[in-house]
Amino acid sequence: MGQMNRLKSAQFRLIAAILIVLALLVGLVLDLRFHGLTWRVLYSVTGEENPAGQLNGFIQYLGNLTRRQPVLSGPAEKPPTWDQDTGGNSIGVNTFLDLEAEESKREQQLQMISAAGIGWIRQQFRWEDLELKRGSYIDSRNGAPVDAWKKYDNITDLAEKYHVGIIARLGTPPAWSEPAGAKQGYAPPTDFNDFVAYATAVATRYKSRIHIWQVWNEPNVYPEWGDNAVDPEAYTDLLCRTYTALKAVDPANVVISGALAPTVELSAANLNDLVFLQRMYGSHAASCFDILGVQGYGLFSGPTDQRMRPTTINFSHLLWLRDVMVANGDAAKPIWIGEMAWNPVPDAQTAPNISGRLNYGQVNDQQAADYAVQAYRRAHDEWPFVGVISYWFFKRPDEHEKDQSWYYFRMVDPDFTPRPVYNAIREYASHQP
């Protein structure tokens, strides 16, 4: 009898254990399905919203324990002009104000940007648009000669009117400056001194009005260095010459290095951003920039993704660039993110003819809005060495690029209808000091 009771007791314990395990599994499934505590914890370290992606991502996240993590050091110094220009506002947005033919539409953009609490515009001052012939800043493309500065004077005036700082991007060379047969608007000039002369002219015209200058953009990937093989040493030469010239115009000028595109490639066309930056340091770039420019796309996961491998491209990837800075004794400099966004590109059923649909990942409008705010918040709370983050982008002047996936990053439609991300950032900015 005693043996039978023990057998029944063992069977009961086994059944109870199975029921407990099943209950836990059901609870886990329900928690993940309805975004409970477990879902939130997994999202906070993986940036994944799909339960299967969360579980897979969490396993990858545990891999952080088996490899060296980036060394970040402490806060970086803030450029004094940051507070001077915008009171320390760290929210920026990329603009294409130069493409708006009507001054009223440029003003409407600045009105909306200022109303949203955005403190900076990252705006190109296109070399090809200003110096159409060597030494000439007259535009005769549409008949009667026009002062090529007029449009950019208007942009600068409007930014001042609405108390928005300008991060001026220097680049897009004119055809006359490039080698014969070069990829127009991208290839570096044959003579770097031509670029220096253009940068000097722009900085002189806007002296004491614009203080932040970015020299080139994404020099580590195609086609931003033309059809040439990317060349960290040549880019550093261009950067150093321009840095010296900009400081000669106004010692208060602040120079951002060309924002590095995140990539793990090691090809002639696209060079790993960590390798590119280290080679820049090897060419003595440390004395030629005040802020490191990077790009901050999340691509296929949200901004909370903390999977840290140098070969993983996510919003946290920039921490490896910070690691390179620290290793080269450059921890006092901040990082500014030139472009940050997640792409709410329509699915194939809604819009079947979009080129490169998944080049940048795919989210819905609400996720794009939520992720942008979370990215600003995470950088503010966790990364004291990160300064201004510029959303990519405010708007395009019309809809002719709707067949391109990158068009859907926009914050506002061409007719000035705000997308959800505009309202979300405005709400976030309203609660910032």
Can you give the residue ranges of every domain in the chain?
Answer: 1-66, 72-430
pLDDT of 155 strictly over 80: yes
pLDDT of 237 strictly over 90: yes
Hey, which residues does 101 pair with through a beta bridge? none
What does each C-alpha distance from 182 to 133, 220, 431 come to in angstroms? 17, 17, 48
Q: What tokens were used for 62?
A: 């545990």
Mean pLDDT of 49-68: 92
pLDDT of 84 strictly over 70: no
pLDDT of 423 strictly over 70: yes
- Of 242, 241, 166, 164, which is closest to residue 206 (Cα–Cα)? 166
Average pLDDT, the chain: 91
The confidence score (pLDDT) of residue 76 equals 80
Beta strands at 386-391 and 335-340: parallel, antiparallel or unpaired: parallel
The confidence score (pLDDT) of residue 79 equals 81
pLDDT band at 39 (very low <50, low <70, confident <90, very high): confident
For residue 293, report the phi and psi dihedrals to the nearest 5 degrees. -90, 130
Mean pLDDT of 249-265: 97
The confidence score (pLDDT) of residue 217 equals 97
Give pLDDT tens digits for 349-393: 888 889 988 899 999 999 999 999 999 999 999 999 999 999 999
Q: What percent of the chain clears pLDDT 90, i.e. is strictly above it? A: 80
CB atoms within 10 A of CB 418: 16
Give dist(CA 318, CA 379) in Å, integer. 11
Mean pLDDT of 238-264: 98
pLDDT band at 181 (very low <50, low <70, confident <90, very high): confident
Give pLDDT tens digits for 159-177: 999 999 999 999 999 999 9
- Of 313, 259, 315, which is closest to residue 291 (Cα–Cα)? 259
pLDDT of 13 strictly over 70: no
Give dist(CA 130, CA 243) in Å, integer. 20
Task: Give the list of residues 6+ apart from residue 201 with CB closer than 8 angstroms, or none.
Answer: 130, 131, 137
Mean pLDDT of 88-112: 96
The confidence score (pLDDT) of residue 165 equals 97
Q: What tokens were used for 32?
A: 């993940």
Angle at 21 between CA 16 and CA 26, to 5 degrees: 125
Q: What tokens were used for 298?
A: 């999340």
**Environment class of 103 (CB within 10 Å of its CB; exposed 0-12, middle 13-18, buried 19+):** middle
Question: Under CATH, what is the fold of the domain 72-430?
Answer: TIM Barrel (3.20.20)
pLDDT band at 433 (very low <50, low <70, confident <90, very high): low
In one letter, which amino acid is 186?
Y
The confidence score (pLDDT) of residue 23 equals 40
What does each C-alpha distance from 305 to 150, 316, 317, 319, 385 come to in angstroms? 44, 7, 10, 12, 19
pLDDT of 8 strictly over 70: no
The confidence score (pLDDT) of residue 12 equals 55
The confidence score (pLDDT) of residue 42 equals 94
Q: What tokens were used for 411?
A: 């914050």
pLDDT of 194 strictly over 70: yes
The confidence score (pLDDT) of residue 183 equals 78
How many residues make up the chain in this entry?
433
Mean pLDDT of 29-54: 79
Q: What percent of the chain clears pLDDT 70, i.e. is strictly above it? A: 91
Lowest mean pLDDT of 66-75, 101-110, 378-387, name the range. 66-75
Give pLDDT tens digits for 276-301: 999 999 999 999 999 999 999 999 99
In one letter, which amino acid is 265?
E
The confidence score (pLDDT) of residue 174 equals 95
Give dist(CA 67, CA 75) in Å, integer. 24
